[in-house]
Amino acid sequence: MKRFAFVLFLAVLVLLAILFVNTYRKGSKQLQGVNTASPLELPDSIINHLAQAIRFRTVSNADPSQMDSAQFEKFIAYIGKTYPLIHSKLKLERVNQFGLLYYWQGSNPQLKPALLMGHYDVVPVIQGTERIWKYKPFAAEMAGDILYGRGTLDDKVTVMGILEAVEHLLKTGHQPERSYYLAFGQDEEVSGLQGGKQIAELLKSRKVQLEYVLDEGGVIKSDGIPGLEKPIALVGVAEKGYATLELSVTGEGGHSSMPPPQTSIGVLAEAIDRLQKKPFQARLGGAIGHLQDYLAPEMPLGTRLAMSNRWLFKPAIISMISQSPAGNASVRTTIAPTVFNAGVKDNVLPIEASARINFRILPGDSVEGVVAHVKKAINNPQVKVEKLGQFDSNPSPISDTASLGFRLIHRSIKRCFPDVLVAPNLVVGATDSRYYTGLTNNIFRFVPVRMNDEDLKRVHGTNERINKGDFKNVVTFFVEMLKGDRGEKVKG
């Protein structure tokens, strides 16, 4: 017995040793010793440029014939007038009419070009919610230092931020070594099929290979995350895939006074219930694994120990993360029944019942895997399962945090925001950058705007707004990205 207790004691000691070695073996992954950028001489008027850009109602529509193309033309004319150096020194191609592709020739043809992108379309303001906006959504009014309007965050801040940065650099006579593309889509909010996708296809047809792509997707989470109150720049290194399945059941119909045990509505409802009770398996690898590697050394001891020993604490970490919808979305493929159609009259048995289920697919899973999971979970031949298909996409590959693009982003963030931690992350929504897979392995998704949980709700929501200082920071960040890019010489 004594001997057993001794062996147990030894085993506990060994385990503790392993846990602590893992915890302290890896130090901080934050770039150290980066000099803070000196403030740029940017005129206050740049916020007026963004304000004017907001006033064009560039609302995209899944049916391109329904978009107000005059507004898009006016936006393009406005940036042409506002950024004269860009429009005299860079080459502009209009792709499929409203997609904008600029090319800035670098001095060193040995370097692969890079691509900065964003979209200038916006989502509509939901009818009836205009009243709850503090200022009219397309009036672009300033309240003190805050500019209100649809698109201030998503995503005219990126488009105008890149344009301001490039115009500023041209004014100072800067000549990049690397060539740069700037790509701005007109329909990201309705899938990007007309804009982002066409621009990417054009570059593919020209056999272009890119060093890196930087799109929207991640922000600076100013209120941190549970356990870490410091602001964190979450740089998307991967994004989830997308699929919508239609489930349908055909019943007999007839008079509701003599119903069968289950109508088509009952069969379909039961199928959805079964599916929801069989969630996809949660995983901690991939982009979320990288996120934890970056955050662990910054965490208080207990969390640091758990995050550094995921081989042991994985179930506990997953159950903690899964408690919030946002956390849950980061560790598994999600299931969202979004549309249910059935029945015509209260005394008539329904014939057709159908529902749409939207899935956001975790890297590692696939559209086909989702279909198989759904069929297995429902396990009822009466329920037809079909892909809607139009917007389906598999999850993106995971971009390399050791690549030049990520190091450049990391360094530029530290130069502009010395108080901020940098971490790679998984983007749970879809961006136009997914069309660029194949043009580069290094696709990143980040705009350096500070947002807390409240601000995040304004994206696609009510009272979308940006602080004047935040917009200046975005411009400074893009200037740093472009000026700091010295080919392979970027350190750290």
Nearest approach, Cβ of residue 119 and Zn ion (Å): 6
Asked whether 196 and 432 are in contact (CB, 8 A), the reply is yes
Query: What angle in degrees, to the nearest 10, is found between the helix axes of 46-55 and 468-483?
Result: 110
Choose, from 188, 239, 432, 470, the residue flagged as catalytic: 188
Asked whether 195 and 95 are in contact (CB, 8 A), the reply is yes
Give the nearer residue to Zn ion in terms of CB position, either 365 or 464.
464
The token pair that represents 265 in the structure block:
């509505």
Nearest approach, Cβ of residue 64 and Zn ion (Å): 18
User: Interior CA angle at 182 toward 91 and 31, to 5°?
Assistant: 135
Give the nearer residue to Zn ion in terms of CB position, either 106 or 217.
217
The SS3 of residue 99 is: strand
Q: Give the span between the Cα atoms of 118 and 156, in whole angstroms.
A: 8
Q: Count interface residues toward Zn ion (CB under 5 A).
A: 2
Asked whether 94 and 199 are in contact (CB, 8 A), the reply is no
> How many other C-beta atoms lie within 10 A of the C-beta of residue 304?
19
Give the nearer residue to Zn ion in terms of CB position, either 280 or 444.
444
Residues 110-169 that bind Zn ion (CB under 5 A): 154-155
Q: Judged by CB under 5 A, does residue 464 bind Zn ion?
A: no
Q: Which helix (H) or strand (E) holds 471?
A: helix 468-483
Give the nearer residue to Zn ion in terms of CB position, either 152 or 442.
152
Binding track over 242-281 against Zn ion, x by CB under 5 A: ----------------------------------------
Q: Give the span between the Cα atoms of 184 and 98, in whole angstroms.
A: 9
Asked whether 295 and 222 are in contact (CB, 8 A), the reply is no
Binding track over 303-342 against Zn ion, x by CB under 5 A: ----------------------------------------
Nearest approach, Cβ of residue 25 and Zn ion (Å): 39
216 is catalytic: no
Give the nearer residue to Zn ion in terms of CB position, either 29 or 445.
445
> How many other C-beta atoms lie within 10 A of the C-beta of residue 153?
25
Nearest approach, Cβ of residue 65 and Zn ion (Å): 22
Give the nearer residue to Zn ion in terms of CB position, either 154 or 485.
154
Nearest approach, Cβ of residue 138 and Zn ion (Å): 17
Nearest approach, Cβ of residue 468 and Zn ion (Å): 21
How far CA 322 is from CA of 39, 248, 282, 334, 391, in Å, comes to: 41, 30, 9, 11, 27
Phi-psi region of 406 (alpha: psi -120 to 50; beta: other; left: phi over 0): alpha
Closest CA to 226 of 303, 318, 154: 303
By Cβ distance, which residue is nearest to Zn ion?
A: 155
The SS3 of residue 459 is: coil
The SS3 of residue 71 is: helix
Choose, from 121, 167, 211, 464, the residue flagged as catalytic: 121
Nearest approach, Cβ of residue 215 and Zn ion (Å): 9
Give the nearer residue to Zn ion in terms of CB position, either 176 or 185.
185
Length of the chain: 492
121 is catalytic: yes
Residue 271 identity (one-letter amino acid): A
Binding site for Zn ion (CB under 5 A): 154-155
Query: Which positions are catalytic?
Result: 121, 188
